[in-house]
Structure 1
């Protein structure tokens, strides 16, 4: 059994680990990026994901490179008075805070050296009764080569070329808002006063996932291993013009300065100072898609964001990708390569209904947090929210949360 995985992000590398664990001897990961390089920002890993990584022998590395998130807290901030009201708090939260690059490198380093082929961009593929044939453009030579396999795993992200082949008329949905993102490294202790003031306002940093609400906006803050503060600020705005294959964009100095001005009007001085001190903040333009009716087409299977792009409000994207990979590997191990069609059908039957519910729930959660569900939109005073509404903000309400494998 030879498996071709398209996409060398976390989803693709997780699939490689799951396939090797299932007994597959030949796994090739094709990634269009030319090299492994630091990217991304923070993410939260749920217990089931951590269990999967431990099964792949990453437990100690995970503990060494992440911080525990034992508290999920939503609160409201009044920028004028700088007063804070705790809306909801879950002290039984059991996540790990990780940096995308740390997790990606951890997965990559433990794969056989010839698994990932950098600078290999898939341009087309064909299926036959026997398997798949993939045409790949090699960046180093400019030539196009052919890779044959028995199974094609599409882990090529929310703008998946392979998904588009099967669902050409389904387009991404702009969610109505973008996310400013940044990671501030204070390991050199060059901003002690600012860090002290932030930890005074957010005393559980290091173990808490904070959501801070204002009218029509919210802010996310938590600490990463290595004395790094990860932050996101969600801003309602018209859909920006983006390159077709990009969801992330760097911004010019004047745009950053405008962001700093708006932040000082929306948030307290501590968060404003943190944003100003962060070098190279960037913008994520946020999309999802309508849930699919299938993930499998003969010898082709979708995983991760290629299968179910989702909004980021419930920490689902990376978690769903790793659990997809685990379930795919378990199904193949259960049924064997001679019954691959049954294995793929089982994977689809397990993961499709769960991820569909979670995509729609995460979409609604984002609309709630950004104020789209109120009349008039974006104007809801979170200081006046009742207990029932506040409870909806907690991560534990995610459908299938306790049984999402």
Structure 2
């Protein structure tokens, strides 16, 4: 086994993708390994201001704190102490059916988290506006394995960079994954999600926000689920008086442009949304959706779990490794924990046994993320009425109601596959 005394020379790692997964890998690797030189290539030109809310679990929060981001995390997020599931009846009245008072998450806006992770990295680590075109594994002049990465900035000529290993954090449509798992198709869930954030500090919507807070009294520290027939919605609060909501609607797979899963809503789609909300949800929630500026639509996909994340000196992390549906609040959490485990494994095994470190990362993360992907899929199908003709959750016994809680992820037994 290696260690920190084996620092004969700096080793280089290239991270492909500068979203949350890639930036967290930079933190994890730099924090754990003084002998690593890390460079992150990101095609976008800057940190994004887009996105919506997310929930961070205790392990992800602990990783961020370990990287020295605890104060920034506290300042940019709100605690989610509990999860509450409510069922909406045919009169649009909702009834609390099951609650978890030990939820222990934090709510943050995706862009806020992206910024704080980026801003804490040393200058020069992240190279925005750089696109990775291809890579190949080879043997270096010293006889050790290498990865050669071809990257360009804008219209500039392609530059070749050699690294001791490469971390692929290039998202759910990962070109790296496609090279190792060709002809793989993503799995459409059967539904899309409308997503929006109401800026409650705006005077024009303060009455709407006030009504929401009276109807959902714990919204500042609770993750609410509203379940109607064959559909469900999500509500929680973010820093800066922002109310984050989602609404999952069963529908045929939409026609998407390129690799994006996001659809901009036109006026007709918004009108249909508002009318359907008035038929489905309690008045306060319907009014929240109607009052939100520029909500957008996400088509919900995942992929079948992979038996491996490592090929030679190339390792998948985040959505490149395990695209998932949103129902277990897993995507960002899995990305952060991937980075934390990878960094610790590299630190443990040292620069002379990178293969052992990558194998350890893979051995720990594959079974855990497999369960999380399949549980998230199961929970979405359950709440969307896709597992049966539709459960009457108001009449269900307590054991059945408990199935709605996210804490079941830890005891979930994925179905056997052939």
* Count of residue pairs the alignment pairs up: 396
Corresponding residue number in structure 1 for 2:195: 181
User: Which consecutive unaligned segments of at least 5 residues does structure 1 have?
Assistant: none
Per-residue deviation at 1:263?
1.1
* The one of 334, 349, 355 aligned to 1:320: 334
Show the counterpart of 2:244. Answer: 230
Alignment match, 2:216: 202
Cross-structure match for 2:127: 117
Q: 2:47 touches 2:114 (CA, 8 Å); kept in 1?
A: no
> Is the 1:49–1:322 contact (alpha carbons within 8 Å) kept by the matching residues of 2?
yes
Q: Which residue of 2 aligns with 1:12?
A: 22
Please list the CA deviations of residues 344-386 of structure 1 after superposition, one character each: whole Å capped at 9, or x if unmatched.
Answer: 00000000010011111111111001000113xxx44332232
Which of 132, 138, 147 is 2:153 aligned to?
Answer: 138
Question: Which residue pairs with 2:59 in the alignment?
Answer: 48
Aligned counterpart for 1:61 among listed residues 61, 64, 72: 72
The alignment status of 1:344 with 2:355, answered yes or no, reads no
- Aligned partner of 2:207 among 169, 181, 193: 193
Partner-residue secondary structure (3-state), 1:131 = strand
User: Relative to structure 2, which stretch is displaced further, 238-247 or 306-315?
Assistant: 238-247
The whole-number CA distance in structure 2 between the counterparts of 1:246 and 1:154 is 18
Matches of 2:92 and 2:39, distance apart in 1: 53
Tell me if structure 2 keeps the 8 A contact 1:354–1:400.
Answer: no
Alpha-carbon distance between aligned partners in 2 of 1:196 and 1:112, rounded to the nearest angstrom: 42
Assess if the C-alpha contact under 8 Å between 1:155 and 1:306 holds in 2. Answer: yes
Aligned residue for 1:158? 172
Matching residue of 2:43 = 32
CA distance in 1, matches of 2:251, 2:160: 43
TM-score, normalising length: structure 1: 0.95
Pairing 1:269-308 to 2, within 5 Å after superposition: 269-308=283-322
Deviation digits for residues 177-210 of structure 1 (CA, Å, limit 9, x no counterpart): 0100001111234323211211121111101000
Partner of 1:264: 278
After TM superposition, give the deviation of residue 117 of structure 1 in Å: 1.0
Does the 8 A contact of 1:44 with 1:315 survive in 2?
yes
Correspondence 1:370-381 to 2 at 5 A: 370-375=384-389, 379-381=390-392
Q: CA deviation at 1:142?
A: 4.3
Segments of structure 2 that go 5 or more residues without pairing to the other structure are: 1-10, 140-144, 413-418
> Separation in 1 of the partners of 2:153 and 2:32?
29
Match of 1:81 in 2: 91
The answer for the alignment partner of 2:103 in structure 1 is 93
Tell me how far 1:400 sits from its aligned partner: 6.5
Whether the 8 Å CA contact 1:66–1:97 is kept in 2: the answer is yes
Contact 2:69–2:120 (Cα < 8 Å) also in 1? no
Structure 1 residue 144: deviation in Å? 2.1
Measured in 1, the distance between the counterparts of 2:255 and 2:165 equals 36
Q: Which residue of 2 aligns with 1:357?
A: 371
CA RMSD, Structure 1 to Structure 2 (Å): 1.3
The answer to whether the 8 Å contact 2:237/2:243 transfers is: yes
